A and B are shown apart, each in its own frame.
Chain A
Amino acid sequence: MAEDIKTDLFERTAPDDDARRTVDEQPSWGGNDAADRTVDEAVAASQKPLIGTQIDGADQAERPSGPVGLDVGTSHIVAAQNKLNHVHMVDQLNAFFTIPVSKFSRRILQNHDIMFFERGDLFYIVGYSADSFANMFNTSTHRPIQGGLLSPTEKEGLTVVQAVVNTLIQKPRRFGETICFGIPGEPVDAQGPGAVTYHEQVLKMFLRNMGYTPISINEGMATVLAELAGDDYTGIGISMGGGMCNVCLSYLSFPVITFSIQTAGDYIDRMAGLAVAEPTTKIKVIKEAELDLTRDPADSIHTALHIYYDEVIHHLLKNLQRVLTASDKLPKISKPIPMVLSGGTAMRGCHARVAKLLDRYRLPIEISEVRLAADPLYATAKGALIMAMTESG
């Protein structure tokens, strides 16, 4: 009838689940060796080097033989598995491109090992292949989850995400293997409540049908698990991706406060592009290859990128201040706590900029430092893997 906290180091986000487990389980005072070992293994996995691979052809997906961590981002989907000496990451572009159905194009796609599916009178080319096709046609790919959340009104969304996930992992070797996937926090700046619930539940259904036991973790919390082992998992984790920034304040590995904003890297590209009248794709390439937010901007494109990066950071910090100040759940923490940033948008000196702009905001807790995750693009998947390993024991 109770929860033995010792066996459950990393908490999931859904309060209902917590409450249910609180009352459904039998009391047990003692330590649980098996569970402790699982937690140890999960923590050990968090210290291993990450080796990443981009999937660029069909039929490369593995059948996992252990727990899996999955980051379903606006731009990329990343799967993580624990191997003997490293954590193995595979990533795929979360994008698609359509061409009309014809016998000729079908043969071309099949001959070139390109990942696609057919729906109506269109072929949907997914992943990095979609990018190559879009370049060939001098246009850009489409995103199945524009604002970071699957929505019932976007018909292709789930099908494309399923196809992309299928390029990374197949069904597990052991039926019922644990898979933990990242979910955003409730957005503070758009959509009604419940948007995350739909996103979470359809992904769960899909992964369950693949033969997994799916659990979810807030993306900010996953960043905490991946990066804050040395801080007793106490601090603020923020994943800054393409469509969203996800924030989680964790206290001793429990996600106390979570939220998200729907402005991130894509917004920076779009707004900077509009400002200097250049295509978004060009702005994105320059941003990813050249931008340095710690230096003064050299030209008008860099200036525009600085301006919109600052806008996103201010929006993030303003909402962090709002949410923390309004919360009645925030525990008093006497020691300053770290803030750790992950995701593509956190790169290029963004963490230094966040540290600088943070001075202008009075938060009810003190921040000791702002860090960049060791592997910003893989931190969410790694945190999800740690959670999956912990829960699968």
Chain B
Amino acid sequence: MPKTAVVFSPDVIRGNVMSRKMQHEGMEVLLFDRACQAAEAVAANRPSIFIFDTCGCIPEELRLLSRFCASDMNASTRAVVLGEDANPGLTWMRDREGVTLLSAALDPELLFSTIQGLFSLAPPAAPVETDSLEHDLKDFLRLS
């Protein structure tokens, strides 16, 4: 499960709604309404998730996002960009690894399940292996 997120939204209400949902699900969230500060926080804190809401963004902010994702973003951070596929400012991110495009509609539940999905595709972590080992052992001993 992702533990930390940096959220950028130029809209205070959208930003808070998304942040509240993730915080409610147990994540630590840093919320910004300025793109450059959000990018700095991502670079400094290496969160699991960087959410970038393009709804109401100015072209400068979209350019900053593209530059940041291309060069400065840490490999362990996954970006979820909320925006429309048709937006010419977002064409750069098609097929970009580590970046997921989600519709701009304010759907915090879908956003969270997308984030969960991204992390369930990640290589299985140690505790899962332990569980299955334990399961195999129980099977072997006919305990389960």
A binding-site residues for B, Cβ under 8 Å: 1-6, 11, 15, 18-19, 22-23, 27, 29-31, 232, 251-254, 256, 328-334
Contacts and interface: CB of A to CB of B under 8 A. Distances in A.
B131 to A, nearest CB: 27
Contact of A22 (B32, B45, B106, B108): B32
B14 A329 contact: yes
A328 B41 CA distance: 28
Interface in B24-44: 24, 28-34, 37, 40-41, 44
Q: Is the interface of A mostly helix, strand, loop or mixed?
A: loop
A249 to B, nearest CB: 11
A3 to B, nearest CB: 5
Given A18-B12, A22-B15, A329-B11, A3 B109 contact: no
B29 A5 contact: yes
B20 A254 contact: yes
B1 interface: no
Contacts of A6: 23, 28-29
28 contacts: A1-B32, A1-B41, A2-B30, A2-B31, A4-B30, A5-B16, A5-B23, A5-B30, A6-B28, A6-B29, A23-B32, A23-B33, A23-B37, A27-B41, A29-B28, A29-B45, A232-B24, A251-B108, A256-B13, A256-B17, A328-B106, A329-B13, A329-B14, A329-B17, A330-B106, A331-B108, A332-B107, A332-B108
A75 B30 CA distance: 42
A29 B20 contact: no
Nearest to A232: B24
Contacts of B45: 27, 29
Contact of A5 (B31, B44, B106): B31
B33 A19 contact: yes
A30 B24 contact: no
Contacts of B19: 5
A256 B109 CA distance: 16
A19, A23, A254, A331: most-surrounded residue (chain B CB, <10 A): A331
Main secondary structure on B side of the interface with A: helix
Given A22-B31, A328-B106, 8 more contacts: A4-B28, A15-B13, A18-B16, A23-B34, A27-B41, A29-B30, A254-B17, A329-B14
A150 B105 CA distance: 38
Contacts of B11: 329
Contacts of B31: 2-3, 5, 22
Contacts of A3: 30-31
Contacts of B41: 1-2, 27
Contacts of B77: none
Contacts of A251: 17, 20-21, 108
Nearest to A334: B109
B54 interface: no
A202 to B, nearest CB: 25
A332 B105 CA distance: 8
Interface string B89-129: 00000000000000001111110000000000000000000
A61 B41 CA distance: 49
Contacts of B34: 23
A330 B105 CA distance: 9
B12 A22 contact: yes
A2 B42 CA distance: 12
A123 B26 CA distance: 58
A31 B3 CA distance: 12
B7 to A, nearest CB: 9
A38 to B, nearest CB: 16
